[in-house]
A = this chain, B = another copy of it.
Amino acid sequence: MRTKARSFLRSLSLVIAAGCILQATSHVHGRPLPLDSLVLNPKPDPKDAIATARWLVSENSWGVLNTIADDLGGAPFGNVVSFCDGPPNEGTGIPYFYLTTLDPTAQYALKDERASFTTSEYPVGTCGNRDPENPTCAKITLTGKLKMLNGNSEEAEFAQKSLFSRHPEMKDWPKDHDFRVFKLDIQNIFLIDWFGGPKPITLDEYLHPNRSRSRSTLELSH
């Protein structure tokens, strides 16, 4: 019996080892994975568009921030940036950025505030083998005004603390590069998280998901 048990254990561990090696090599090529793969919270039901929108913004750590490039004929200019919407599990839904005014995005925004911010479920790692353009692999674009915050304001302090917590290396970025805290003042929400086109979400519903949910429950009960 003891020999059989040992043999079973050995076979089991060999199978697990082989499976793991296969998984590790076929998936990660030995490279550390991007931080976004460490999902904090499970994805909401796609039927709950408001929760999905807030989840996408809270789970992601980067996206593309778009401004108008006056020196490129007024073309829309996307730029990869890091962001956060508040402390872990206490996100506000509002994306905050730490941008150097040496970078065109900050310079463009200071001349023309029109902007949008786009982020995808794909790098979060929950789309499985679905294509990044498959509508069930969620994506969100928040359109509004990109504003530089007053460095002495409470909001700038809150945003910078949250940004440094989510992006620890930011606190060591060069002091002479004039990094400033910016926020996207949201006016419009474009979310695709299923077939059938964008989900209609108002700014109020997005910013106050719990209030919206209570109201829906109230409406349903009458």
Contacts and interface: CB of A to CB of B under 8 A. Distances in A.
- A29, A79, A117, A144 — which one has the most chain B CB atoms within 10 A of its CB? A79
Interface stretch (A9-17, A46-54, A148-156, A200-208): A9-17
Contacts of A14: 13, 17
Given A24-B20, A134-B169, A34 B76 contact: no
Given A37-B28, A122-B34, A76 B67 contact: yes
Contacts of A143: 69, 72, 75, 77
A131 interface: yes
A116 to B, nearest CB: 5
Nearest to A64: B64
Interface of A: 6, 9-10, 13-14, 16-17, 19-21, 23-24, 27-29, 31-39, 61-64, 66-69, 72-82, 98, 102, 104, 114-120, 122-123, 125-134, 139, 141, 143-144, 167, 169-170, 187-188, 190, 197
Given A79-B139, A80-B119, A81-B133, 20 more contacts: A13-B17, A16-B17, A17-B20, A31-B37, A31-B126, A31-B128, A33-B125, A36-B123, A62-B133, A66-B76, A73-B114, A75-B114, A76-B78, A77-B116, A77-B190, A80-B132, A81-B132, A82-B132, A130-B169, A134-B169
The 6 closest A-B pairs by CB, nearest first: A20-B20, A76-B76, A78-B118, A62-B132, A64-B64, A66-B76
